Structure 1
Amino acid sequence: MNRRYFLASSSAIAILPLPTFSGQTRLHLKAEAVTQQILPLGDGTTSMLGFNGSMPGPELRLRRGQHVQIDVENGLDKGTAVHWHGIRLENRMDGVPMVTQDLIEPADIKAYTFVPPDSGTYWYHSHYTSHEQVARGMMGALIIEDDVPPDVDHDITVLISDWLMQKDGTLTDEFTDMHSLAHDGYMGNYARAFLSQRQVKQGDRVRFRLINAATNRVFSTVVSGVSGSVVALDGMALAKPHALTELVLAPAQRADLIVDIISPVGFDMVTRQGPYRLADLAVSGTNTDRKTGPIPALALPNLPLPDEPTQHLTLTMMGGAMGGRHEGDNIWAFNNISDLQSEPFGSFKIGETVRITLANDTSFPHGIHLHGHHFYEVDEEGVLGNLRDTTLVNARESRDIICVFDNPGRWLLHCHMLSHAFGGMRTWVNVA
C-alpha cells in the first residue's frame, strides 16, 4: 500500500453518508460515469463508474419476503449487468451475461425482480468484465432488513475497497496486466472504507455491516474502540455470536458485528508495515440510557438442512505464477479447464445434498463464490461450520463445503478474486 496517504491525516477522509433507498418496492439504478473524492480532501478527485451519480452506489434496504423491482439503466458506452451478490433469487435474475441473461446494452434498461428470502448483509455489483467495472466502482450495499431488528442504536454499513491510482487521483487502468493476473490480481495502492454514518455516542450499541467490495484484496481488519461480537457472516446469522477479533474478509465476504462503543472507533487493515487506517468514526457525547448486556444472536435463516451427501466432487484450483502446469487455455484453471464450458462442473437434482472439496493447488489464496446458494464450511473434524456464499481457501490448502442445491438453474461457481475469474477460474453447476 502507498503509505503516503496513511501518514496524511486520516481525519481528512470525508465520511459522506451515501444515498439510501429504504423499503421501496420499485427502484431505479443508473450505471454511469461519476467523479468521486476517494483520496483525502485536498488531493485529486477520481473519474470512476458508479450508480445514480455516486460511488459506491446508493445503499438499497429491502424487506425480507417483499417483492421488489430494480430497473437498471445502462448509461455507459459499454454493456453491463448487475449481480445481487448472496441473494438466493430466481436464476434468470442473477445478473450473469451469457449464463442467465443478455447484456444490458448502452441506453437500455433491464428490470430485475425478486423476493429476498433472507435478511442480512449483501451487496450488488457489475458482473460483466467485472474485473474492470467493479475496479472502476460499480458496487453498492444491499441490506435485507430483519423482521425484528436487534436492539441497537445505530445500523452502520462499512464498505471497504482499494484502488490502484496515481497521486492526482487518476485510476491506473492496467486491469488486464498479465503479471498481476498471474499473481494476486489487480491490487490497489490506496484503500479506504465508506461509512454510512459520521458519528456515534460513547455507550451506544451499534451494528456494523462490513463488506469487502475489493476486486482482489483480502482484508485483515481490526475494529478498535469497541467491545462486542460477530453475529453474522455472508448475510447468515450465527447460531452463537463469535468473539470479535481480527476479521479476515476475502473479496465479496461480509461480517455483521454488534458492538458497544467505548472510545473513538477506527477501522484498520493489518499490514506487515503496521496498521493502515481505513476509516474513523467520531464519538461525541455519551448515551446514558443504554443498559449494557449480552450481545443477542440474530434470528437464524430458514435454509434446508443437509442430508447425507449423494455426491462428493473435487474442484482443484490450478495455474498462476509458481503454479503447476494445467491443460486449460488461460492463466488459471479448475480441474484442468479454463473459463466457462458447455458442460457443467456438476449436475444436481433439486434438493440434493452435495459435498465439494475445494483444493487449492496454487501459490495464492482464492475466494470461491457459489451463486444462488449458501453452503456450510466443514471443519477439520468434519463438523458443519458457518454458512457462507464465498469461502477463502489459502494457498496449498483445501476446504470441504456441503451444499443443499435447492435453487434450480445454471449457477456460476468462480473465484471472486475477479482477476483470477477473468484469467480462467470460472465454471458452473446445473440444478434441475
Structure 2
Amino acid sequence: MRRRQFLGSLAAVGLHPGLSFAQPSSIRLIAAAHRQQILPVGYPDTEMWSFGASFPGTALRARQGDRLGVTVENQLPQPTSVHWHGLRLENAMDGVPGLTQAPIGEGASFDYEFALPDAGTYWYHSHAKSMEQIERGLYGPLIIDETDPPDVDQDITLMIDDIRLEQDGSLSAFDNFHDLSHAGRIGNLWVANGQIDPAYPVKRGERVRLRLINAANARVFTVGMQGFDGSIVALDGMPLKDPQVLPEELILAPAQRVDLIVDVTTDDEEAFLITFERDGGYAIAHFPVSGPSKATRSERPLLPPNPDFPIDLANARTATLLIEGGAMGGMRAARVDGQELGARELAGRGLFWALNGVAGRPETPLLDLSLGESARIGMANNTAFPHGMHLHGMHFSEVLADGSLGPLRDTILLNPQETREIAFQAHNPGNWLFHCHMLAHHQGGMGTWIRVSA
C-alpha cells in the first residue's frame, strides 16, 4: 500500500479547541477501542485504541501555572498507563509501569494530578507495551499556553505519524523480529492528526503558530514548509533564546516537537507541509490559501522563557552510554538481570539492543545524583540504525564541539556511528527513565534510568 494512491482523498480537520482552564480531576480520559476512517472513503475503516474515542486522542489544553488533573479509565483488553511526554512533573505521575507506578489494569482507573510550570508543546501517550499501544492510537496533544501568548492569527497543532495498515484496514501484526532488530516499526501510510493530507484554511499575510509533533513509532521525519516564511521558536516545548530562521528541511526524530511562527507568503492557492522521502517530497498536510488578511505585523515575537536550571559543566558528574546491537552489527552477549546471555538466548527473549552491555532496564541507575547536581552523559551509537534518546522528567542541552550548550531538548537523535554528549541539572527528584524512543528498540532492550535524590 503506497501513500500516493490516497492523495486524491483530502479531508479537513478542525483546529484544536481554544484555551481551557483545567482543574484537578476535571478531565476524564477513557482508553477504549473505537473505529475510525483512516484510509480514503471507499476503503474499510480501522479499529483503533484511543483516549476519548478519537485518533489522536482528546486534545488537552491548560495554562502555565495551572494544576492538571486527569482520571484515566482503562477499558482495553491490556493494562496501560499514560506518560506526559516532556513535562517536568512529580515522579509518581510520570506513568512508567514498574518504575513510577503499577500499570492500570483492565477495568481500573488512575488519577494523575500535577503542576504545569512550563508552557509549550507536549503530548501524552501510553507507556505500557508502547510499540503496540501507541501504534494502535493511544496518544494525544497536550498544549500548555503561555500566560502571555504570542500574537498570532491561528494556533495549529499537527501530530505527524506513520501507520502500518493492511488492505482491509487492519493494523499489521506486532512484535515481529525484523521490527525489533532493525529500524523499528515503520509505517506504510503517513497521516497528520489521524488523516491523510488534512486541510487547514489560511489567509495570505496571516501569522500562524504551527506546532509539529512526531508521534511515529520509529520514523525520522524530514519535513519542510512551502508557502510560508518564519522562524523556529521552540524545540521540545522549550522556547529558543534566539529563534532560528526556518530552514528548507527540518529533522524530527520520534517524540521530538518543534514550534514555528510563520507568515503565509505564497501567491498560490495552497501552501504545504511536505515530508521528504528518498523518491521525492509529498504533502502531509495542506493549507488552502485565501485572502488577503487584514493583519499587518513586523517582527515575529519571542516566546517568554520557561524556568531555567543552569548547568555547571565544570563540576558535572559524568557517565557514558554505549549503544550496541541490532541487525548488521549485532552483539554477541549482554547482561539481563545480572546474568550473561548469548545472542541466541537474547533473541529468544526478543532482546536485540544493549546499553553499556545491559539489555533491558538495569537494577542500578546510570547515574545516582543529588538534587541540584549537574550531569554529563557521553553517548556513542555503535549500531547501523538511528536512535532517539529521551530523558523523562528533565530537559537537557547538547554539549557542542566548542564546549557551549545547545538549546534545551528532551529527545536527541543519534545517527549510526555518531557520538554526542548531553548535560542537565538534576532539579527534579525521582527515578527517571532514559530510553530510545524508537519504540521497538526500547522494547528490545534499550532502556536505562537515572536517580535524583532530594
Query: Normalising by structure 2, what TM-score?
Result: 0.91
Matched position secondary structure for 1:420: helix
- State whether residues 354 and 404 of structure 1, in contact with CA within 8 Å, keep that contact through their aligned partners in structure 2: yes
Q: How does 1:303-342 map to 2 (within 5 A)?
A: 303-307=308-312, 308-328=314-334, 329=346, 330-342=351-363
2:383 maps to 1:383:
no
Corresponding residue number in structure 1 for 2:202: 200
The one-letter code sitting in structure 1 at the alignment partner of 2:211 is R
Matched position secondary structure for 1:6: helix
In 2, the alpha carbon distance for the partners of 1:47 and 1:168 equals 11
In 1, the alpha carbon distance for the partners of 2:22 and 2:199 equals 21
- State whether residues 10 and 277 of structure 1, in contact with CA within 8 Å, keep that contact through their aligned partners in structure 2: no
Corresponding residue number in structure 2 for 1:227: 229
Note the C-alpha offset of 1:251: 0.3
- State whether residues 34 and 55 of structure 1, in contact with CA within 8 Å, keep that contact through their aligned partners in structure 2: no
Corresponding residue number in structure 1 for 2:13: 15
- Post-superposition Cα deviations, 1:366-385, rounded to whole Å, max 9, x if no partner, equal 00000000000122222101
- State whether residues 15 and 157 of structure 2, in contact with CA within 8 Å, keep that contact through their aligned partners in structure 1: no
The one-letter code sitting in structure 1 at the alignment partner of 2:373 is E
Structure 2 stretches of 5 or more lacking a match?
335-345
Corresponding residue number in structure 1 for 2:338: none
In 2, the alpha carbon distance for the partners of 1:431 and 1:9 equals 49
Return closer, same or farther for 1:201/1:243 CA change in 2, 3 Å cut-off: same
Structure 1 stretches of 5 or more lacking a match?
none
Corresponding residue number in structure 2 for 1:42: 42
Corresponding residue number in structure 2 for 1:254: 257
Return closer, same or farther for 1:20/1:189 CA change in 2, 3 Å cut-off: farther
Query: Normalising by structure 1, what TM-score?
Result: 0.96
In 2, the alpha carbon distance for the partners of 1:326 and 1:427 equals 20
Corresponding residue number in structure 2 for 1:132: 132
Corresponding residue number in structure 2 for 1:291: 296
- State whether residues 22 and 69 of structure 2, in contact with CA within 8 Å, keep that contact through their aligned partners in structure 1: no
In 1, the alpha carbon distance for the partners of 2:387 and 2:146 equals 31
Q: How does 1:13-412 map to 2 (within 5 A)?
A: 13-17=11-15, 22-25=20-23, 26-173=26-173, 175-194=174-193, 198-245=200-247, 246-263=249-266, 264-288=270-294, 290-307=295-312, 308-328=314-334, 329=346, 330-412=351-433
Matched position secondary structure for 2:227: strand
Comparing 189-198 with 217-226, which one deviates more in the overlay? 189-198
- State whether residues 84 and 95 of structure 2, in contact with CA within 8 Å, keep that contact through their aligned partners in structure 1: yes
Note the C-alpha offset of 1:44: 2.3
- State whether residues 376 and 401 of structure 1, in contact with CA within 8 Å, keep that contact through their aligned partners in structure 2: yes
Comparing 99-108 with 36-45, which one deviates more in the overlay? 36-45
In 2, the alpha carbon distance for the partners of 1:276 and 1:170 equals 24
Runs of 4 or more, structure 1, over 4 Å off, are 16-21
Note the C-alpha offset of 1:170: 1.5
The one-letter code sitting in structure 2 at the alignment partner of 1:112 is Y
In 2, the alpha carbon distance for the partners of 1:331 and 1:19 equals 42
In 1, the alpha carbon distance for the partners of 2:137 and 2:178 equals 22
The one-letter code sitting in structure 2 at the alignment partner of 1:395 is P
In 2, the alpha carbon distance for the partners of 1:170 and 1:285 equals 41
In 1, the alpha carbon distance for the partners of 2:371 and 2:150 equals 34
Note the C-alpha offset of 1:80: 0.3
Return closer, same or farther for 1:242/1:326 CA change in 2, 3 Å cut-off: farther
In 2, the alpha carbon distance for the partners of 1:182 and 1:231 equals 36
What is the aligned residue count?
A: 428
Percentage of pairs with the same residue? 46
